[in-house]
Amino acid sequence: MWKEKFIQYLRVEKNYSSLTEISYLEDLTQFEEFIIGEKGKDNAFDPLLTDSDDIRVWMSYLMEQGIKPRSVNRKLSAVKSFYRYLKKKGVITQNPAEAVKGPKVAKKLPSFVNDPEMTKVIDDPLEYSNDFRGYRDRFLIELLYLTGMRRAELIALKDADIDFSACTLRVTGKRNKQRIIPFSDATKAKIKEYIAVRDAEIENKSPFLFVKEDGEPLYPKLVYNVIHNHLNSIPTLAKKSPHVLRHSFATEMLNNGAEINAVKELLGHSSLASTEVYTHVTFEELKKAYQYAHPRAKK
């Protein structure tokens, strides 16, 4: 009875989709059937008689059946939502699922491009059209790789954000938080060269550094398509999004001896934990190098 009322609550008050309803219903039905079997009852499920240990035993059973941690966590989320609903309705006074933690899900390591491959993408003249758009696309990719900026940060970048005397960019990140990214003299020359080409080719002037052929600023999908199309030349790359260039920047910085706190500041991460994922990437690369190079590593 309470299970059906909960599903109705999801539909009417929470406005969940029919697919989500079906998913919740299946997960809760599996949970009820397991508890009934464990308690030795024939056809009754009483939420008042279920405790945290019952839920943990159910989760262990799911893991033993080969259910992946991500799926177990999804099922646990459905059970937690159900018991929160029962507590809200006054059916129970204590939520047995509240303190139950799901299994840890292994974090996927971010996709990245190593420097030799990135150099081929940037420097191959056959990759780009022989006009302003081709020139812009090439420099756009290179600047993302050189700075680790986010796509939105690059789109918002204006000429006024460039300090050529100090060789720095003022970048506005998430929650309008600004940070300063340094660049080299070689990059300064490339920025100035790009601006000269842009100003000579584009009639409609704009405060934005990167623009379309009509002088209007870029938009997210355009930037995504540019990067995706050019990273397609690397068939082994799992993902081909703008964020891959950010991952590549961070990975190369750490691989070449940069301090993790410095990389954190350059990326604009609020927490060091967000940056630490790249140390796992570099460690995986170290393991590969060891297994490839050491004569007894494969024996």
Enzyme catalytic residues: 150, 174, 243, 246, 269, 278
The residues near 179 (Cβ < 8 Å, ≥ 6 apart) are 170, 171, 173, 265, 266, 268
- Encoded tokens for 107: 């974090």
Select from 119, 133, 123 the least CA-distant residue to 210: 133
Residue 178's alpha-carbon distances to 57, 175, 230, 269, in angstroms, are 48, 9, 29, 11
DSSP label of 235: T
For residue 1, the 8-state DSSP code is: -
- C-alpha R_g of the chain: 27
SS3 of residue 16 by DSSP: coil
Buried b (16+ CB within 10 A) or exposed e, 146-171: bbbbbbebbbbbeeebbeeeeeebeb
The number of beta carbons lying within 10 Å of the beta carbon of residue 253 is 19
Block residue for tokens 């299946």:
26
Six-digit token string for 7: 């599903």
DSSP 50: -
- Cα separation, 254 vs 264, in Å, equals 11
